[in-house]
Amino acid sequence: MAAFTEAGLAVSPHKVGPDYIDPGYHSLATGRPGRNLDAYLCGPDLIGPLFAHGAAGCDLAVVEGVMGLYDGASGQGELASTAHVAKLLRAPVVLVVDASSQSRSVAALVHGFASWDPGVRVGGVILNKVGSPRHEELLREALDSSGVPVLGALRRVPQVRAPSRHLGLVPVAERRAEALEAVAALASQVREGCDLEAVLALARGAAPLSGAGWEPCGAFPSPAPSRNRGLRPRAPESALRASSSNAGRAEISTPDRQQSQERPVVAMAGGAAFSFSYAEHAELLTAAGADVVTFDPLRDEELPPGTRGLVIGGGFPEVYAPELSANEPLRKAVAELAASGAPVAAECAGLLYLARELDGKPMCGVLDAAASMSERLTLGYREAVAVSDSVLAEAGTRMRGHEFHRTVVEPGAGAAPAWGLHAPERRVEGFVQQGVHASYLHTHWAAEPGIARRFVERCKA
């Protein structure tokens, strides 16, 4: 992504699956919002429209996969796998192979991936972690008869490594300078080791999406115009259109900005401690009639002026618990806003921040619950139903979400729980009280855009 961006192309970055951290690096590489394509959270029918929305006006769209090519939602076949999304987009696949400790066997591996599903077009392979020029020569010789062209070979380079901790890579928001250096090193390595023109040629061969009459709905702001100057591909039609039969699910009518009714301010937590959010959430809130203003709970001692609603997404408050606790003026402001009955949506990290304490450090005290780190990783997709009426959904609303945390909250649910989860075990979790909806469950609001409308309507009320 960075190599193509530096060459003057407008690159639209996408990530298969629910992960928040990789899109942060994508945004750093391209200057555009990193966007997720998750066929479990949003359903297969929305993959095309969400892709088209993000890629509109761009020269090239790059979609990073998740796990192995054919790994999807547990027990549900190909659902939400990289292969599934590639088929939905009718996009060719570049297979990146860890070539360390093998030579001729790489041909068998690539042949297996390329032939496993006839509906997946593996258009090329990039050899990763190549040890030496001789190693690369052996690998290329082995792949000569595979029918899959080699598009590049990348050596082991320490500068491109990114540090990890208990939930994956350290986010860009916490190491921006170092991340910029790593992305620049990656771009340099790709320019030297990969045939970018061949990759572009492969992208040009992507088939148009089915029912190509769809246009990005009025729920979202218009994207920035293309600034392509350099390696010049023709604009991929598949990045501009999707099925008209899908448009209705994603569409929200855009409010008239000239209307007399005030646009309520919705404060959205950001910064190093709260860096997990899908780009479409702020866009849907804006389209529903709100002015979204980002603030940093680590630094700002007040909520944005005129705040009528609050959204606190995911992140790493456990890493910053002392600093969050030390910002007593903001903790008090959040507690007062919640006590007033204003809408507050808190997801995972937001749940911890609203608790009475986190690892013994005082938090906002909106919820009578204590949060702490644990040894157990809670991870997976979830089927959920809203148990209580809330600012986000009516009781009985069905959603799909995911959990990803190493913390626990005691108690795990309030007198009015937020969600009933059906897998892997049946349980209730989260809190609904006054205008607060707090839960561990991450959801993608594009799957049910009525969430944003309902939240903004409550802010106006």
80-118 confidence digits (pLDDT tens): 999 999 999 999 999 999 999 999 999 999 999 999 999
pLDDT on residue 101: 92
Dihedral, CA atoms, 323, 324, 328, 334, nearest 10 degrees? 160
Burial of 256 (0-12, 13-18, 19+ CB in 10 A): exposed
> Do 80 and 215 have their domain in common?
yes
Tokens of 117: 């599903």
Question: Which residues are marked as active site?
Answer: 348
Q: Please give, one letter per residue, the 3-state secondary structure of 281-343.
A: HHHHHHHCCCEEEEECCCCCCCCCCCEEEEEECECCCCCCHHHHHHCHHHHHHHHHHHHCCCC
Burial of 253 (0-12, 13-18, 19+ CB in 10 A): exposed
> Do 188 and 61 have their domain in common?
yes
Residue 265 belongs to domain with CATH number: 3.40.50.880
Q: Examine residue 343 and state whether it is found in any structural domain, yes or no.
A: yes
Residues 352, 375: Cα–Cα separation, whole Å? 17
Q: Examine residue 150 and state whether it is found in any structural domain, yes or no.
A: no
Q: What is the three-class DSSP state of 166?
A: coil
> Do 267 and 403 have their domain in common?
yes
Residues 351, 311: Cα–Cα separation, whole Å? 11
User: What phi and psi, each to the nearest 5 degrees, are found at residue 65?
Assistant: -80, -175
Q: Examine residue 350 and state whether it is found in any structural domain, yes or no.
A: yes
pLDDT on residue 212: 37
pLDDT on residue 164: 84
* Number of C-beta neighbours around residue 104 at 10 A: 11
Q: If you ran DSSP here, which 8-state letter would residue 265 be given?
A: E
> Do 271 and 333 have their domain in common?
yes
> Do 203 and 266 have their domain in common?
no
With CA atoms as reference, report the closest residue to 151 among 126, 122, 129, 130.
Answer: 126
With CA atoms as reference, report the closest residue to 22 among 126, 177, 172.
Answer: 172
> Do 385 and 303 have their domain in common?
yes
Q: Examine residue 100 and state whether it is found in any structural domain, yes or no.
A: no
> Do 267 and 176 have their domain in common?
no
Tokens of 23: 């899109």
How many domains are there within the chain? Answer: 2
Residues 101, 414: Cα–Cα separation, whole Å? 52
pLDDT on residue 340: 98
Q: Examine residue 228 and state whether it is found in any structural domain, yes or no.
A: no
Angle at 29 between CA 24 and CA 33, to 5 degrees: 50
Q: Examine residue 274 and state whether it is found in any structural domain, yes or no.
A: yes
Residues 6+ apart with CB under 8 A from 64: 13, 14, 15, 16, 22, 26
Mean pLDDT per 10-residue interval, the chain, length 461 residues? 97 97 95 97 96 96 96 93 98 97 96 96 97 96 94 85 78 89 93 97 89 39 38 33 30 39 93 96 98 98 98 95 98 98 98 98 98 90 96 97 94 97 88 98 96 97 93
Dmax (CA) of the chain:
71
* Number of C-beta neighbours around residue 422 at 10 A: 13
With CA atoms as reference, report the closest residue to 391 among 444, 429, 338, 440.
Answer: 338
Q: Examine residue 141 and state whether it is found in any structural domain, yes or no.
A: no
Q: What is the three-class DSSP state of 213?
A: coil
> Do 168 and 290 have their domain in common?
no
pLDDT on residue 210: 67
> Do 186 and 297 have their domain in common?
no
Q: How big is the chain by its Cα radius of gyration, in Å?
A: 23
The H-or-E segment that residue 370 falls in is strand 370-386
* Number of C-beta neighbours around residue 302 at 10 A: 12
The H-or-E segment that residue 99 falls in is none
Its pTM stands at 0.88
Q: How far apart are the first and last CA of the chain?
A: 43
pLDDT on residue 160: 74
> Do 309 and 174 have their domain in common?
no
> Do 212 and 279 have their domain in common?
no
Q: Are 267 and 330 in contact (CB under 8 A)?
A: no
> Residue 182's domain spans which residues?
2-91+157-222+234-247
Q: Examine residue 345 and state whether it is found in any structural domain, yes or no.
A: yes
> Do 173 and 319 have their domain in common?
no
